[in-house]
Chain A
C-alpha cells in the first residue's frame, strides 16, 4: 500500500501537545511526518494523595513500558473505537493513548495482554494484508477489526484477538466517559451540592410510578432540613 496514504489517514487535525512519530514507520519511508497525535493528559495530579501514593504515581508516570510502535498502535485502535468525528470529540481528543498507557502500567496484569495483543494484531495483519497493523490501509484495518470486534465470533483462531480488542474497547470507553467530554456526552448531572427531593414528577409519570403518602410521611421535608431535630419520648420526630 501507499505509505503516504497511511500517514494521511492517520494524520488528524493538529492538536495541542504530544506528537508521536513511529520510528518503525519512518524507517520504511524516511518520512518524518507525525503519524498520529492526541491531546496530552497531565502527568501531575493532586487529589488527596498520601505521600506514598504521590511518589508511587510519579514513578508510574516516569516509567516507560511501551515502545513507540506499540503506543501508535494503541492510539490507532483508540481512534477506531471512538473516532473524533463527533460533537464531543473522540478518543484522541480525550487523550486516550496516555490514559491507556498509564492504566497498563498501573494495573500490571494488563501489561502482557496488551503487549501480546498488539503483537498478535501485527501478525494477523501481516498474514492477511502484508504489513503490520498500522501500516496497512484504513480499509484493511477496519476489516481486521471486524474480525475481532464481536463477541459472537467463535472462530478459535481469533479468540486472542477478540479478547484483546475487548480489553482495548473497555479501556477506551472507560477512559473517554471519565473525561469532561464523556460526562457531557452522557448528560451526567451531579457531583455538586444540591438537595435531593425525589424523582421528577414527569419521570415518575412516564414510568407509571408514584410516591405513596405513607412512604412520603417518613421522608425529609426539605423546607425544614435546617431546623434542629427534636423528638418526643416515643421516638417521634417533632415538627
Chain B
C-alpha cells in the first residue's frame, strides 16, 4: 500500500486546530489531526463530570496537579505535567499551561467570546508601543460573523465601537448579585452589559443541545450546548470521513526537504513509545502559542539552522499573556437570602467592557471586568473560614458546634467578586526559547521562559484594584482581605496564569520582525502555517479564543485557495 500523503497535517486540536480541521475537511482535503492527549467526549459516561454531586468525588472537587481548576473540571492538563518540564531564566516565574486531550483547553475555558475591536489591531498608532497588526477589523469581521453563526454566542448589540456587535443569541437574565453589581457600577459611571459567551441559549441547529443552566460549562457539556473544539468542530469533521485522528501523539518536529519546505512531521506514539512519521503537503501548527514555537525551534535543518521559520530570530519572542487581578466582597444585603436555583450558565451573566479608552492614565491598554458570586453548588473549599463575615458584624469569629451551621446558612450566597483581565504590552525580550540542556521524557528539548512584566502592567493592576474596590463598595459590598499594594505588584497575576499566552509566532509584513504573514503562513516555508494564538501581534483586553477561531477560518480559506491555484 502506498504511504498516505495527507493534504494537511494539523498539530493540536484546540480552537485553532479544530477550526482548521472542520473547514479543511469540509473543503474536501485529506486531514491528519494530531493530539498529544487522549480522545475525549463529555457525553461519554466514562468521562462525564457534569451533573455530579460533590460527594461523587473523594476530594469533593478539590484541585489536583492534573486538574488545577478542580477534579470535576474537564481539562486534563495543567501547569505542571508529568514528564514534561519547562525551565525559567533569571527571576522569571512564567506558568505554562498545556491541555492534553482532544479539544485542548477549549474543554474548560470560560466561554467568554469577545471580538477584538478596530482599535485592537492598531495599538502602536495610538500609544506608540508594540506593533500594529498587518490586518484590520475589516479583514477579520466576516470571519467573526461566520464564527458567531457556526458556533453560537449569546450577547447583545450595544453599538460600542471597540466591542463590536455580532450575530448574538439572546442573553440570560442577570442573577441577584449581578443586579447589585449593575446598580453599583452605574453609580460609578461604569458601564455594564450582558456577557458574551459561546453557550446556546437558543437553538442554532438540530445537532447540538440547548443550555439547561447547570452552571457547569467548565466540566464540558454532555449535550454539546457550549463551545468545545472537540464537540462542535472535530466530531462533525470526523463523521465526514476526511480526517484521520492521531491521539496520544506528541510531535517532535516538522520534517523538511532540501528546499526547506515541510514534508510532514515526526512524532512519538506515547502509548507504544515509538517514533513515527506522517507525510503531508502542508503542516498546520495549532499546538498553542508556546508549543508551536517549541516545535518550530526544534525543527532544525541545514535550511533552517535556527529552527523552522526562525530566520528572523522572532520565534518565541513577544510572548505575552493577559494581565489579571481579582477581589471579593461580602454583600450584607444578601445575608439570610432566599434559596432558589440560580446555577444559570457557566459563570457570569453580565460584564463590564473597557470604558476608559483615550483617558489620561499612567498605563496604556485596557481591561474588562468579569463578575462572580452568588449561590453555587458547594465543593471543596466551601465552609472554609465559615464565619469570617462575623468580623464585619462585630461578632466573634471561630467556634464550633451548631452555631457554625447558622453562620454557614446566613452567609451562603452573600458574595460578590470581580476578576479583571487586561491587555499587556508585548515585549521583544519576553520570550520562550529552547533550554540548552533539559529535555522531556521523550528527549525533546524543553522551553525556557524569560519574562518580566513592565511598569505598564503594574500600573494597570493598581488601577484594577482601585476600580474593584470602588465598584464592590458601590454595590453594597464589604471588601474582603487586604487590598494588595506595591509590594505585591497590586495583585497582578503571574505571566501565563491567565492562560491567554500569545505572540510567539507573530504575523507581520516585515520578514525581519515577524514569523508569519497575515494568513499565518511562515515567511520561511510556504507550506507551514500557524493557527493558534502565536500569530497575535497583540492580545487585546478580550479573551483570545474568538479571534483564534476567526483567524484559523481565514487561514483555512487561504490554504484551500492556494492549493486550488497549486501554489502549495
Q: Which residue numbers of A lie inside 8 Å of B, CB to CB?
A: 41-43, 45, 47-48, 50, 52-53, 57, 60-61, 80-83, 85-86, 99, 102-103, 106-107, 145, 149-152, 165-166, 169-170, 173-180, 182-183, 185-200, 202-204, 206-207, 209, 211, 215-216, 218-221, 224-229, 231, 235-237
Contact = CB atoms under 8 A, between A and B. Distances in A.
A61 B176 CA distance: 41
Interface string B336-359: 011111111100000000000000
B215 A220 contact: no
Nearest to A186: B412
A150 B340 contact: no
A194 B342 CA distance: 10
B548 interface: no
A219 B173 CA distance: 6
B62 A227 contact: no
A193 B212 contact: yes
Given A86-B402, A203-B176, A224-B202, A47 B213 contact: no
Contact of B170 (A48, A150, A187, A221): A221
A63 B152 CA distance: 47
A178 B58 contact: no
Contacts of A99: 58, 60
A48 B59 CA distance: 14
Contacts of A177: 378, 382-383, 408
Interface in B258-303: none
Contacts of A175: 60
The 4 closest A-B pairs by CB, nearest first: A173-B383, A178-B54, A198-B173, A193-B212
A194 to B, nearest CB: 5
B408 A220 contact: no
Contacts, number: 251
A174 B405 contact: no
Nearest to B49: A48
Contacts of B402: 82-83, 85-86
Interface string B377-407: 1111111111000000000111111101100
B147 to A, nearest CB: 13
B201 A225 contact: yes
Interface of B: 38, 46-49, 51-62, 64, 66, 71-72, 74, 76, 149, 152, 154, 156-157, 165-176, 179-180, 183, 194, 201-206, 210, 212-216, 333, 337-345, 375-386, 396-402, 404-405, 408-409, 412
8 contacts: A43-B58, A82-B402, A83-B401, A190-B375, A199-B176, A207-B176, A218-B194, A235-B157
Given A48-B72, A235-B157, 6 more contacts: A47-B49, A176-B383, A189-B340, A196-B343, A199-B173, A215-B194
A193 B222 CA distance: 12
B341 to A, nearest CB: 4
B268 to A, nearest CB: 17
A196 to B, nearest CB: 4
Nearest to B390: A151
A26 B103 CA distance: 57
Contact of B386 (A106, A173, A215, A228): A173
B213 A196 contact: yes
A227 B110 CA distance: 25
A194 B341 contact: yes
Contact of B377 (A86, A166, A170, A188): A188
Contact of A199 (B175, B194, B203): B175
B176 to A, nearest CB: 5
Contact of A150 (B167, B342, B399, B408): B399
A215 B349 CA distance: 12
Contacts of B72: 47-48
Nearest to A148: B398
A94 B48 CA distance: 25
